[in-house]
Structures are given as C-alpha cells and as structure tokens.
Amino acid sequence: MSTADRAPVVVAARRTPIGTAGGALRGATVDELAAPVLRALLADVGHPVDGSPARVAGVPVADVLLGNVFGPGGNPARVAALRAGLGEQVPGMTVDRQCASGLAAILAAATAVRAGDGEAYLAGGVESASTAPHRHWPGGDRYTRAPFAPAELGDPDMGPAADVVAAKAGISRQRQDAFAARSHSRAVRAQADGTFDAELVPVAGLGADQRPRPGFTPERLARFRPAFTPDGTATAANSCGVNDGAAAVLVVSERVRRALGVPGLALAAAATRGCDPNLLGLGAVPAMTEVLHGVDTRSASAAPGPPDTVEFTEAFAGQALACLDAAGVDEHTASPDGGAIALGHPWGASGAVLVVRLFSHLVRARRGRTGLSALSSGGGLGVAARWEVVS
C-alpha cells in the first residue's frame, strides 16, 4: 500500500454531552460513558455493532485508544471496547498525557495507521470526575492529584500557575472576563441553534451539555473574586469547570476512506512539545508554533496560512489568551461555538472534544477546509494538530 493510501483520516466524530461533576452523569463510569460513543462512530459509517468483530469497510478495527486521567485503572479502553460489544478480538489501550490525553490518543492512532499497523482505530478520551476513586498515600494522606514534575523543579497547581502565566504575559483581568463571556455566549447560542446535536450521543438520560448558561456578561464576570491566589485574575467564571464526558473519533487510512465514500479530516501535521513545568499552561505554544509556522517535513514546504477554525482548550482564560497570543492566533477565531470555559473540561476527553468540534465545523457544516486543535497539559506539555478536509 502506498504512503498516500496510508494517510490517516478522521471519518466520524462523536461525544457525549459534557456533564458537571456530581450532576447528570454522576453515576456513569468511564466505560459506561465511552461505550455508546464507540458504537455511534461505527454506526455513522454504516457498520453498526452487531456482536461480531467490529469492522469498517471490510477492515477490522485494530484497537481502541482512549485517554483518561483519574479513572479506576485497569485499562478503561479495553473495558469500554468490551462493553460496546466490539468483539473480544478488539484490544484497548489507555493513554495518560494528562489534559492532552484524548488528543494524544488520536495522534497515536494516526501514527499507527501511517505506519501500516492497522487501517481502522477508535480513539479519543473519557473522564468521570464524579466516579473517580478516592486515593490515599501510604500513611493515610489523601492523594489529590498526580505529580506533574519533581517538586524540586517546581510543581505548581494549575490554578496558581495560570495566574502566573497571565501576569507574565500581561493579560488583564478585563480581557480575561471578556474572553470568557464570549465563550459562554457562543456556547449558549450554539446550543440553542442545535449546532451540537449531530455530534452528541445521549447517555444516562442527558442529551445536552449541562454547563452553558446565559447571562454571563463581562460586567457580571467582573464581580467574581480570584479563585486561586489573592491577587490573581483567574476566577470560577473565567476558568473551566470539573466535568464528566467522553469523545472519540474513527481514524482510518485514506484507502478505507475512499472505500467508504465519505469526506473526512486528514491529519496534516502534529507536534508534542514541553516547556518549564512552572509555566505549565504555556506547553501548547511550541507545539502550535511548530504545526502553524514550521516546515511540513513530509512535503518540504512551508506550512499554510492561518487555519479556518481553531479549537483550543480554554482551561483558564488568561492561560488560553497567553498561548493564542504567543502562537500568533487571533483570539476571536478560537472556539467559535464556545470552549471549555463554557462547555466544561472533562480532562481525559478534552483533547478529543477539540477534534469532534473541528469535524462538526469543517466536515458536517462545511465551514472551511483547515483546522487546528491544541491544548496544554500538566507538567508543561502541549499537543497540537493541523487538519485538512478531504473528500
């Protein structure tokens, strides 16, 4: 098979509604969230799950790769694959790159397709903050989060680190609140217009994202107090929530896409990079810079102009703005239907949510031909991917 035939393409993309931790999805475990999404992806390309080994256009599903951060362990991707009824032969692998896990899983699937290891993969992420088990260190101290870096190098919590990043980048509280208010208003509008409907898989009785609420103006947001440091600028209203949800895509070879006869999102470039863990929110910057302004080594030509659509995980308004500014991305083009500030941030799933949203914009709605998905994660890491529509 030629190199062109092995090019990875996303041909289906789905997600659950994003629930507020302790809310409508509070009783759904990670595998219960992910399984219906996996089934929906196969149904979308005309291969509903019927109990036999899962196949796409005659090609077996080679693996299920899911990102997850705070789940129960025990390889939730394999559990979800079995719960989805994909067949005992379909394995599963769980990926942890913290908040970037979902996007990292998709890129791992794309790499496997390009390498010729398989031609069809289900990949994405899932998080259930509501059902994450309580953990304790030996001796009884509560385990609240994983170490992102050795303590002697600096391992700040994300909220205080976001305040530092915003201050160093000169992002004012007013600008952060305006950015957050825009995210909220865009999500409310998109929800009312039915923009999300085609990508959603109802689960546990929830058919719509829980977090979007009208009425968040910059003036209202200005009344919120700092959430993490006394003189900080990150608040509960201009930061993401703690959430439950799952998102995944079907990644196939270009050969399989042609056999299906459907349009898709082809992976044009991707990068995973690191930065100072004390400034962990800036991890996306070198990755975004590489895929937007670097050289595409496969074609030995300069990267194209600005993408038509940008999906960036808005963990904190100040941190998101610092990354977008540093990478040369117009803040007004990011998250056109609202981002994580308005929709929520189900950690292990969030990177996959970005690709689902791009698929809806570029393939379902035909609103452009090129897109960027990017986010920062714990430990000073960043992942970015550039996509192009093929048909």
Written as six digits, the tokens of 290 are: 């590489």
Listed in sequence order, the residues at least 6 apart from 268 whose beta carbon sits closer than 8 Å to its beta carbon are 291, 296, 370, 386, 387, 388
Catalytic status, residue 323 = no
Active-site pick, 47, 275, 323, 345: 345
What span, in angstroms and rounded, lies between the C-alpha atoms of 129 and 30? 9
Q: What is the dihedral sign for C-alpha 112, 114, 116, 122?
A: positive
Written as six digits, the tokens of 269 are: 């470039």
What span, in angstroms and rounded, lies between the C-alpha atoms of 147 and 136? 14
Active-site pick, 99, 240, 275, 323: 99
Q: How many CB atoms neighbour CB 318 within 10 A?
A: 30
Residue type, 285: V
Q: Is 297 exposed, middle or buried (0-12, 13-18, 19+ CB in 10 A)?
A: exposed
SS3 at position 370: strand
| Exposure letters 207-225 (e unless 16+ CB within 10 A, then b) | eebbbbeeebebeebeebe
Q: Residue 261: name the closest of 55, 11, 7, 63 by CA.
A: 11
What span, in angstroms and rounded, lies between the C-alpha atoms of 31 and 51? 17
Catalytic status, residue 345 = yes
Listed in sequence order, the residues at least 6 apart from 286 whose beta carbon sits closer than 8 Å to its beta carbon are 271, 273, 274, 275, 382
Give the DSSP letter of residue 16: P
SS3 at position 371: strand
Longest pairwise C-alpha distance within the chain: 60
SS3 at position 50: coil
- List active site positions: 99, 345
